[in-house]
Structure 1
Amino acid sequence: LSWEAVYRLQHGASLDLRDVPSVVGGDVEKRHGIVLAKSIPAKKYGIHTGEVLWQARSKCPGLIVVPPDYQLYMQCSNALIDLLGEYSPLIERYSVDECFVDITHSLGDKDPYILAKEISAKIKNTLGFTVNIGVSTNKLLAKMASELEKPDKVHTLYPHEIPEKMWPLSVKELFMVGRSTAPKLYRLNIFSIGQLARTDPEFLTAHFKSFGKVLWRYANGIDDSPVNPFGTVAKGIGNSTTVPFDVETEKDAFLVLLSLVETASSRLRSARLLAQVVSVAIRKTDLTFYSHQRKLLTPTDNTEDLFKTAKSLFKELWDGSPLRHLGVAFSSLCNDQFCQVSIFEEERVYKKKALDSCIDAIRRHFGDTSVVRGSFINSGIPPLMGGVAEDFPSMRSIL
């Protein structure tokens, strides 16, 4: 939201979105009604990232909603990463607006807090937006420190500061304690991070299985994962969309699925990955959600094969009710440099791979709509549909 606010101010806006209850959300008319980011004043109304816009507006009738500009956000994100690269080559991108930077070998004689303040000031003066920076000895504590007080702050959270700064916080503030985990902890009379840290790990394991030990480690600030500038292999690649109209026919549903598969399969090929599990998800107009998945005999990145499986899954899943949301996802990913194929399918597989590569190359050079399937012409459905999904792995896998 800070990026959106700064951009609008630079282009003549008189209102700073950061100073009023505002959110970056979807297009209500097109029914993309999800809160993607919120201002600090909006947070005070109890508005949460991920909730539907009508619910957010019921909490704050005067809420300002602006549509997302993904291209702007990626430009800001890349500019931020480039600037941080002046301080250290060890940068691990966590999300579009968060990253970890290992400055161990960049400090020299400087205090880490002083260097963090210098970085914060340079970002503000060079790029025009503010950031929160957390400084610590590991990624978990740095992440927790960055969330302490906003905006435009630098916080430390070293191990010896945990009892004073982290343990008094509500347990819901601990990373990985979400809306479903917090009530379970409350029922166990665990209300603060300090109480969780002092709880017997075996007791937590009995109630949360292996996740119980993760919670205990996080509450005690334990994390030994290094900053990985190369990232980690994505566990899955998916794409979904909320359609501007009710999908009531199989023909329209198949076109939406094809559009989603086109986008997601090109991302598979770009990442040099093959998928062995295909999942399809649908949401009806009453907001009920259903999903179905299938494991393929041979991993693939071919659009036609993935779409064929997605169609089959959809037929098994759909009962004819109007739909407002459809999604596809590919998982059980593996590297595309070696894959055993059937001797009866080998020639067909390589021909399809060559066709997909050719189409990808044309779209990279001449635009996404330079080559489209004839079935999309005059259909009113975009040939490449879906939001900008991030390939950043979840922090649980990083830590």
Structure 2
Amino acid sequence: MSGGTSVMERFAAARLLAATRAPYLASALFALTPLVHEDAEGACADANWNLHLGPGPVPVEELAWSLLHQVGHLLRGHLGVGEDGPRWNTAHDAEINDDLDGAPATAVTPDRLGLPSGLMAAEYHRLLDLIDVPPELEACAGAPFTGPAVMSALERDLLARAVASRIRGEAPYGWRRWAESILRPQADWRVVLAALVRRGLAQASGRVDYSYRRPSRRNVQGVVLPSLVRPLPRVVVLVDTSGSVTEPALRRVLGEIDGILRACGTGQVEVVCCDAAAHPVQRVTRAADVELVGGGGTDLRAGFEAARALRPDVLIALTDGDTPWPERRPRAQVIVCLLEERPTPPWARVVRVAA
């Protein structure tokens, strides 16, 4: 490990500089364990919070930026995520570097990709299909080395919560959003969805009406009277099939809805797929069997209008939220399964679906 002392001196100076620039990340910066390798380049972390350093004379300013970048990967759980490594590396870097000033000329940023700022890695990952990444940009590929596990999973979780609790309004938007997701109590979206659907079905099934299909047993002077009936609640599922929504995500939520409806004894389900226009209604006995048609732009107002014509009691909408919404509240009880963090109308009951 020749040159280890000078490398460690630069690391100590860079860590202090990074902590000064982002004091809310100081505890994470000082949780890194530096390891020097002859064949390593720059600074790169592994999932065990080891920072692998090369012997090259990296300037302190550049190393400080790298430390903040690596801590961003660690705290946000990026390392080891995604099957198509290079593409996920680019998406992760775009999310992190959006909040970091002074990025090196070859670093990936949303601006250099020609993409909007303030998005999550999953959103950048999807948008990469629409662009050509400039060849001069180099995404962080992760450490080629793995060091010892210096912290348990519980200790890493406690560290993340401690960092999140220090983040205030002066921190960049991406860090504030991350802190909120860590500190906000998270209920399993499947449990929330099931509760909302069952509540909507229960309220709808409480309605009664008169029908001559099964005449009343009462006989009043030879007059046939209608009997009270309890109609089966009508459920319509509105599916956003625009190009911005992935089929695996839709299939996952459809599977959950299918299980909930079957458990509630609901028979036929009517499904409306919608991108910029509503497609023909599909009547299926299992929501999971729906044929997803579409792939264009997004305007769910057309889908809501088509669903309204079916007069549902409960309307379940699956969408990433990147759509205009109807101005007026539908007569049905509306449950929105939201695949991305976006604004929704005040009249909708919202379930935020975890990625």
TM-score between both structures, scaled by the size of structure 2: 0.27
Larger Rg belongs to: 2
Q: Which has the higher strand share?
A: 1
